[in-house]
Amino acid sequence: MKILHTSDWHIGRFLNQRSLLPDQAAILEGLRALLRREMPDVLIIAGDLYDRAIPSREALSLVDDILDTVILELKIPTIIIGGNHDGGQRLAFTSGILEKRGLYIRGVFTPCPEPIVLEDSQGGVAFWPVPFVKPVEYRNITGEETVRDYQDMYGAILAEIEKRMDPSLRHVLITHGMILSHLPGDGDLDDSVRPIEIGGISFARASLFGAFDYVALGHLHRPQRVGDDRIRYGGSLLKYSFSEVNQHKSVTLVDMDGSGGVDIRTESLPTLRDMAILTGTLDDLTGASALDNPGREDYIKVILTDGVRRLNPMEQLKKVYPNVLEMEYQSQSITRGSTTTKRIKERLSNPLALFEDFYEQIHGEPLTPEKQAVAREIMEETHETH
């Protein structure tokens, strides 16, 4: 069975008050072309189809247009689960009617999810949808007061699913949540004494998901495997913040054989424009040579290194970079001469910096760029969730 795993479309997203609908329309055209070329047996959207619980009319229209192609023209079964940005009840509205056309929407978590079984020439594949749910919501729904965090919650959910797994079928879990392969420094403490969290942010371990042939994750925006290649985040379709500027976005194609073995490849989709961070003096960034920059039309964040603040820098920057969205002065320039108290306050207002300090104190070494990227992404997603 060929599975196209996507997630985190965030249709209707704004970036610094700029609507990204034109960019989303362009990338969905690329997705449409990929679907026609690959003709997968199923399309998965693992949460955050929309960016808001109540999407705009334009966002609804864009989704309606792509699903019209997928469901009515190409007749590709599609499974959508609710994410933390989606309005689960609204997302699932009329889902019973839509299933007759091959569109399966599971917007709201239920304690005992029913599998969606799809057939191919080698038998059946059971897709288990688990929409986004917080541990406190899980406790309210199930009454299981012993569930404290995501590790407990997913342990309980998966135990229930595993009781009902048909051994004659292949099994795919679809969920939207915080799943990590390990905590930085794993092995230093026993599970019984270490909280399953980073900087107060709870997550579940990938080792819980071993019963599944493939796990299609949504929530983190960087496409990545989680320990095992069979457990993957699809990542967002587009770069949605300047912290994602160096991420390579893609969608995931999974070819599953009759025994549940998977062959995985990723496909990039064409974008209307990229995203970049430019650093330099205002004169350097707006000089004659800047006009030859092939990325001038990209979404731009500028970090000015001028020692003094310039007059109307954004106005000058926009003459060269029409889509410049953010500008700031390099921290060491504007904090020169600031007091120690002010520096401490700035540090306290930056959770990532605090976590980096804590990690270095505990382990005697700084965070690697890879671990720093994971910590930053988790903190951003958690901020959006709350």
Instruction: Please say if the pLDDT value at position 333 is more than 50.
Output: no
Structure tokens at 275: 């995203």
* Pair 111, 105: CB distance under 8 Å: no
Residue 188: its pLDDT value, please?
A: 34
Pick from 207, 114, 92, 98: nearest CA to 155: 207
* Partners of residue 103 on adjacent β-strands: 78
Domain 2-267 matches domain 273-334 at the CATH topology level = no
Q: Report the helix count and the strand count for the chain, using DSSP H and E.
A: 12, 21
Neighbours of 118 (CB within 10 A): 18
Domain ranges of the chain: 2-267, 273-334, 345-386
Residue 385: its pLDDT value, please?
A: 53
Structure tokens at 344: 């401490």
Share of the chain above pLDDT 70, in %: 83
Instruction: Please say if the pLDDT value at position 129 is more than 60.
Output: yes
Indicate the pTM of the whole model. 0.82
CATH of 2-267, picked from 3.90.1300.10, 3.30.70.100, 3.60.21.10, 1.10.645.10, is: 3.60.21.10
pLDDT digits (tens, 9 = 90+) for 64-92: 999 999 999 999 999 999 998 887 777 76
Q: Which CATH class is domain 273-334?
A: alpha beta
Type of residue at 333: S
Q: How many residues does the chain have?
A: 386
Residue 326: its pLDDT value, please?
A: 93
Residue 334: its pLDDT value, please?
A: 47
Residue 85: its pLDDT value, please?
A: 85
Instruction: Please say if the pLDDT value at position 112 is more than 60.
Output: yes
Q: What average pLDDT does this structure show over 353-357?
A: 70
pLDDT digits (tens, 9 = 90+) for 226-278: 988 999 999 999 999 999 999 999 999 999 999 999 999 999 999 999 999 99
Share of the chain above pLDDT 90, in %: 64
Average the pLDDT over each of 100-104, 298-302, 378-382 and give the range with the smallest value. 378-382
Specify the 3-state DSSP secondary structure of 78: strand
- CB within 8 Å of 10: residues ≥ 6 apart: 24, 48, 50, 51, 85, 236, 237, 238, 240
Mean pLDDT of the chain: 86
Pick from 78, 82, 89: nearest CA to 127: 78
- Distance in angstroms (rounded) separating the CA atoms of residues 119 and 74: 17
Structure tokens at 274: 């990229």
Structure tokens at 259: 């025994």
* Partners of residue 362 on adjacent β-strands: none
Average the pLDDT over each of 117-126, 213-222, 360-369 and give the range with the smallest value. 360-369
Higher per-residue confidence, 372 vs 46 = 46
Where residue 98 falls among pLDDT bands split at 50, 70, 90? confident
Pick from 42, 48, 50: nearest CA to 7: 48
